[in-house]
Amino acid sequence: MQRGSLSILVVEDHPTIARQIVEFLDGLKWQTDHAATGGLAIELATREAYDVVLLDLNLPDLDGLEVCQAIKARAPRNVPVLMLTARDAFEDKARGFRGGADDYLTKPFDLREVALRCEALARRGQLHVSQELRIGPLTLLPREKRALYDGVPVPLTQAGFRILFMLCDACPHAVARSALVHALWGANPPDSDALKSHIYALRKQLELASGQKMIATIPHLGYRLALGAADHV
């Protein structure tokens, strides 16, 4: 099977497993970088544009879920994250997906399956680098930082557009509050609950444009785009 070249970030602290993954992907003529710590993974994912991040949950410095959320918030584009872990309980998988993972594979795994999943995720990721992002009647123009509802412009602040883009990009999944806060303010968030104020303003603008409540609160997690769903404060 002929594969196009992909750029992969392998985040794995176990040297033998990391070497096996990197050597296999190199054999496919893919471009691979390796990070043995969460801190280095975030630094690389923020600086480079990868097609997929392979992320182990058990890292020596940071929890893998924290790393996933930081990458989702700070990477130059929405990069798909495939979590690789020995944690195979349903609750662990649920935490992974709710934390921003796009796919989840438990150890031990077949490296051929890793490659197939990377290809599938990379194809999906290409949908997010187009000039517009559409979800029903809602259209986002990332390069222009504009939103349209049924073709009519929706007036948004810069922060409002950033939040809406992240919600649309993750749809139908939720985006964690921590990821939104980090995307807006980095490591120095304001002391007040500024995010709640931005969400409130965004909700009002979307409701004026659409006549419906479009952002749902997911208790203990964050928010998600929910066209036609009930609005929870």
Q: What is the pLDDT of residues 124-174, one digit of tens each?
A: 766 555 567 888 899 998 777 889 999 999 999 988 998 998 888 778 888
Domains of the chain, each with CATH number or no CATH: 7-128 (3.40.50.2300), 131-225 (1.10.10.10)
d(CA 49, CA 42): 12
pTM passes above 0.85: no
Segment (H or E) for 141: strand 138-141
Name the DSSP letter for residue 172: T
Q: Are 184 and 162 in contact (CB under 8 A)?
A: yes
Torsion of CA 202, 208, 209, 212, to 10 degrees: 90
Region 75-87: mean pLDDT is 83
Find the range with the poorest average confidence among 18-22, 68-72, 75-79, 215-219: 75-79
Comparing CA positions, the residue from 218, 48, 225 lying closest to residue 140 is: 225
